[in-house]
Homo-oligomer: A and B are copies of this chain.
Amino acid sequence: MNIRIDELKKIERVSQPFKLASRDFRPKGTVVSFNGACMGSSVGGRELVVIAGPCAVESREQMREVSQAVMKAGVKALRGGAFKPRTSPYSFQGLGREGLEILAEMRAEFGLAVVTEVISPQDVDLVAEYADVLQIGARNMPNYALLHAVGKAQRPVLLKRGMMSTLKELLMAAEYILSHGNDRIILCERGIRTFEKYTRNTVDISAVPLLKRLSHLPVIVDPSHGTGKRELVGPVSRAAVAAGSDGLLIEVHPQPEEALSDGPQSLKPDRFAVMMRGLRPVAEAVGRTL
């Protein structure tokens, strides 16, 4: 339980439908900390967090190559899916437990924290054994059984906004997790569905300052899913940081053209490193470090 008993008295002062998620409940803001193998990390403070890695864990070699590259570029948390929610039952569904084991090896070898998705309440314990942060994907944001399960798990949660969910609904989803006393939640804007066809989704950049006002929870942006195009990841990442985002979630793959999923939106390691360098002056311009 991370929500303190004395805090709970404040709940009556909150006029929003989201009570524990409201900024009024905890005006100073929440810093979510999580651990990697040999160091800790946190989101919501002065330092920005970048979580990088491939869409899916495909092999030990792929993950080692990515881990090395993103670590060199200054990243402290590794993403990679072992359980993949795919539109088609015939698409690659992830390596499952084997993928989790590979992720754990990367943590041991490179000291990176592991962020990975869980898609079923039944898998929460298994995933929590390996992961430092449990990710709830956009499709599962309104999966209340899963939200209850990760709430009970008392582990940090990366909660992605549904592709057609309002910000109010996102905060209500966080409220499900918070209602179990688990306040280690990182909100993630990852683009919403609109009529525009050039991009896979439309990144709602105003969600960043709005969520920061409405809630005390940290907010990050996923420009990879948000745009679906690697050439837009750099500019949208800079925009996110300038708008006040506490971090970024970015897809990096050594051979994007051969990726089992999300190739077109993944950056190669060298391009990712360039992007990271371009991000630092923007972070400093808004009083943050990277």
Give the B-binding residues of A (Cβ under 8 A). Answer: 17, 19, 85-90, 119-123, 139-140, 142-146, 162-169, 172, 175-176, 179, 192-199, 202-210, 213, 226-227, 231-232, 234-236, 238-244, 278, 281-282, 284-286
Between-chain CB contacts (< 8 Å), 11 pairs: A89-B172, A121-B121, A139-B142, A143-B146, A164-B164, A193-B195, A202-B202, A202-B206, A205-B205, A238-B242, A284-B285
Contacting pair B235 A175 (CB below 8 A): no
For A87, the chain B residues whose CB sits under 8 A away are 142, 168-169, 172
A204-B202, A285-B281 known; A145-B164 Cβ under 8 A? no
For A179, the chain B residues whose CB sits under 8 A away are 89-90
| Count of identical protomers in the assembly | 4
For A240, the chain B residues whose CB sits under 8 A away are 239
Question: Quick one: which of B122, B197, B202, B285 contacts A285, CB cutoff 8 A?
Answer: B285
Give Cα distance in the complex from A120 to B244, angstroms.
Answer: 36
Question: Quick one: which of B17, B85, B244 contacts A142, CB cutoff 8 A?
Answer: B85
Expressed in whole angstroms, the minimum distance between the Cβ of A23 and any Cβ of chain B is: 13
**In the complex, given contacts A88-B172, A281-B284, what are 5 additional A-B residue pairs having Cβ atoms less than 8 angstroms apart?**
A90-B175, A192-B202, A193-B195, A199-B210, A241-B242
Expressed in whole angstroms, the minimum distance between the Cβ of A197 and any Cβ of chain B is: 6
For A120, the chain B residues whose CB sits under 8 A away are 121, 145-146
For A122, the chain B residues whose CB sits under 8 A away are 121-122, 145
For A123, the chain B residues whose CB sits under 8 A away are 145
Give Cα distance in the complex from A213 to B227, angstroms.
Answer: 14
Expressed in whole angstroms, the minimum distance between the Cβ of A86 and any Cβ of chain B is: 7
For A203, the chain B residues whose CB sits under 8 A away are 204-206
Expressed in whole angstroms, the minimum distance between the Cβ of A97 and any Cβ of chain B is: 15
Give Cα distance in the complex from A235 to B210, angstroms.
Answer: 10
Give Cα distance in the complex from A200 to B145, angstroms.
Answer: 24
Question: Quick one: which of B119, B175, B194, B226 contacts A202, CB cutoff 8 A?
Answer: B194
Query: Which residue of B has the minimal Cβ distance to A164?
Result: B164
Expressed in whole angstroms, the minimum distance between the Cβ of A160 and any Cβ of chain B is: 13
A89-B176, A202-B206 known; A143-B143 Cβ under 8 A? yes
Query: Which residue of B has the minimal Cβ distance to A19?
Result: B90
Q: Which of A164, A176, A227, A239 has the most CB of B within 10 A?
A: A239
Contacting pair B17 A88 (CB below 8 A): yes
Give Cα distance in the complex from A172 to B227, angstroms.
Answer: 22
Contacting pair A209 B194 (CB below 8 A): no
For A236, the chain B residues whose CB sits under 8 A away are 205-206, 209, 243
Contacting pair B164 A163 (CB below 8 A): yes
